[in-house]
Amino acid sequence: MELWPWLTAALLGLLLLLRLHRAANFYAKLALYCALCLAVSALASLVCLLRHGGRTVENMSIISWFVRTFKYAYGLRFEVRGRPKLDVDQPCVIISNHQSILDMMGLMEVLPRRCVQVAKRELLFLGPVGLVMYLGGVFFISRQQSSTAISVMADLSERMVRENVPIIPVVYSSFASFYNIDTKLFTSGIIRVEVLDAVPTHGLTVADVPRLMDTCHQAMRSTFLRMSKPAPENGVAEGPAAQ
């Protein structure tokens, strides 16, 4: 019985430390995120096996539902523009910008049905995370075997131009206002997501692919910079438009 006051004091002290010490708060939330990934991956794997019996891209809708619940635990809100642009009746290639381990949540917010993903092979060995990705039909490539990765991308390039597969860029705004590993910041925030217009590949050859990707990169970069600007205070615009 005498232990309860000490345990209560220790718990209150820990809560106070997490509230006052930014680094402790950051690593605690990061650890919770990793724990959630492992626990939810194990649970989602079980559901996928019970529902579909094995590896299929159909499992990705189950995985997506589980991952989308993470935002409630972290007070994150997604504002998506252009979602209907992903409702296409033909094969397409979706590309997006990479920022941090939180990218997965943003991806699942807009992921279309029957979307096959490509990921680095190292993720396959992350226990339940690797298992659920495998069950979701993720295609793994090895960065250590560059010939394999190059072969995959070459096959994708040929398919894009052969089947007129459009490229649809998806851009996520900067996480820096609520997630910053350098300053140990991890709070609630808003993630803006914008689906850009599809970039057609009709009439192109494999030799045009590098220029095509550069065009996509430039469009995504300018969109990222525009989306990541802090909102003006009191709704007052800045610059020439305000004059």
User: pLDDT tens digit string along 174-208?
Assistant: 999 999 998 888 999 999 999 999 888 878 777 88
pLDDT at 106: 86
Query: Does the pLDDT at position 122 exceed 60?
Result: yes
Output the average pLDDT for the chain: 82
For the segment 212-229, the average pLDDT, to the nearest whole number, is 90
pLDDT for position 238: 40
Q: How confident is the model at residue 146 (pLDDT cuts 50, 70, 90)?
A: low
Query: In angstroms, what CA-CA distances link 158 with 65, 115, 178, 235?
Result: 33, 19, 40, 48
pLDDT of residue 188: 92
Mark 116-152 as b/e (b = at least 16 C-beta within 10 Å): eeeeebeeeeeebbbbbbbbbbbebbeeeeeeebeee
Residue whose C-alpha is closest to residue 183's, from 191, 175, 192, 194: 175
pLDDT, position 196: 93
Could you tell me whether strands 118-120 and 93-96 are parallel, antiparallel, or unpaired per DSSP bridges?
Answer: unpaired
Average pLDDT over residues 9-22: 67
Q: How confident is the model at residue 235 (pLDDT cuts 50, 70, 90)?
A: very low
Report residue 48's pLDDT band, with 50, 70 and 90 as the boundaries. very high
- The Cα–Cα gap between 136 and 138 comes to 6
User: How would residue 101 be classed by pLDDT, with cut points 50, 70 and 90?
Assistant: confident
Are residues 77 and 192 in contact, defined by beta-carbon separation less than 8 angstroms?
no
Q: pTM of this prediction?
A: 0.75
Q: What are phi and psi of 235, to 5 degrees?
A: 70, 15
Helix (H, G, I), strand (E, B) or coil at 13: helix
The more confident residue out of 119 and 68 is: 68
- Per-residue pLDDT at 241 exceeds 70: no
Using the predicted structure, report yes or no on whether residue 164 has a pLDDT greater than 80.
no
Q: Report the pLDDT value the prediction gives residue 163, as an integer from 0 to 100.
A: 66
Helix (H) or strand (E) holding 24: helix 22-52
The answer on pLDDT for 159 being more than 70 is no
Q: Where are the domains of the chain?
A: 21-229
What pLDDT is stored for residue 4 in this prediction? 63
The predicted model gives 202-230 an average pLDDT of 86
Please state whether 234 falls in left (phi above 0), alpha (psi between -120 and 50) or beta.
left
